[in-house]
Structure 1
């Protein structure tokens, strides 16, 4: 697979640009929904087979390790090859996993070792999928409408995060084979849609593979204060302020509800994010973007303080709802700022470096929540995290003035 010859530019035709982006949007929606369903079924089936919490942890670990090891090489590959084909191959590999699980479940030969091996393949696919998706999206639409497009795309992903697990759990009642079959069909649909995207004109990248070229994305981020500030702000906000891992404790011991409450609380941030993404699609943020991003993270920190102090289910739901909406404002500004400030030939490597920030914040955030909850209790953990998030916002105003002063999303790279 080599760099494709230029065919059309994303800006050559508004109609062609819209068609390509919508194919990408539907393809990504299908793939994300399938991935969410697959993880629900995979975890449930593993627990049915082994009854071991340790094995459930191994499923997640074996998906995380390949992403950690392969992310930087993946970014280099994304910048040298056709991003459509790379994204399609990632979806196709997950399609193979879904078919293997469907056939294995129907034949009665799915076991612990097979699930762990397939989890490793899922990790490999996702190591390449994130930078491919992030690098492909901004090439499909003109820069002027990129904020709207990213908000629209983010809204679809939030819908998939809400609907995917629910659909997977509902279908699992008919058997794991049914879930895996539907997942495989959705992955196949995603492959077809992505391949129908009109190739985007790009200059072939001939920089030889080396440690220097693979680390170029990290260097690029480090040298631009606004981008570094935006990514590190998101990292520390999720690292300190996240409470997802502690929700079962809050549901049972603080709010005194059952599994239905856990489901609603897990969905609350995604619902808030979905509604805000719809609003941002219609009314994108155009001025004062840096300050608004910092303030949005501040609102996120405040909402976590409210959640931590709440003993009312309704108030806790609203706090998480607001946290999801505030986080979506931050995400859209961060993603758009990074994409517009990054040259196309660097987008894969910068997206790969960005995925390290995201992966580190999510994984370490769960560990931080558990560790502080063990030391201070779940309420103390969330209150400490919310206060820490507000402290980070205040410090980032001082440490990253280029981010705080950033007025427009499309502007000179810093």
Structure 2
């Protein structure tokens, strides 16, 4: 067994040094651990990430140094290597992988300190440029950050900062198509990533698995194999056995819990298998509804949640930030979204309401806090 050291991600410089030692066989790091802190982890462990995720189910994901290296090396093979900007918490896998990639590339990451803002991003990018003009620049963001940057693209320095990156990895949740198009029009190179803590971060880029990754769909569920898979869940062999399984050839697969399919080598994700409501006796995927709603102008960052409904049993509700409605009334915006959903899925899937808020509650990882947003939508009936 390997000693497990409780670790804070508050100081990225300290975390980077601790991570460097962990990758070289030093004590394993316990990040964001929940409840009692175990004293040991399996041999070979570099990091254990404790997370409740967006589903609220506590997990302690065991990542070996081999898995973290494999993920970072596969990324470098796909997009290149250079100097990274850390704009996400280091205690979550997307931020942690920025540090791993920097360590393997022999560069020091520049840290965006304080609250994220377009101005802070532009200033940190300028610092990164000054560090070594010969290095290619990279960063990793979540869609909400991308939306904020594109909304402020005409502010001093923001457009130039975005354009200087060879690749901006975007993950954590689906990237709305309208944001991808806006970025492309502005000359910004976004790379949509798909993965999870259990895969050491993103392992499918723009729908194409990284070179060492295999993806297949079994009964509509996406499964992933590759050297970057987690060893399992610390102290929970039952969940480990349910989530990771070997096929008849001995290949180990991670059951993602995501619905999707693979066609002509392209991975297409439809959403979580468990993010479904039953409305009027018909199953409705909230992720699929959300994907359609986010194509509606003014609703690109909206979240769709399920609530109890006296007539249909359950119904979907759109929760969006006030001020993004593009001069449309709330009723007009809702009708536009309902028409779009009906055209692609059917009338049974149309959202029942639109709730406007000053800001969407998020998790520390930057993902929407769907539990909190769902509770709010249920209260505002």
TM-score by length of 2: 0.28
User: 1 or 2, which has the higher strand percentage?
Assistant: 2
Higher percent of residues as helix: 1
RCO comparison, higher one (Cα < 8 Å, 6+) = 1
- Scaled by the length of structure 1, the TM-score of the pair is 0.27
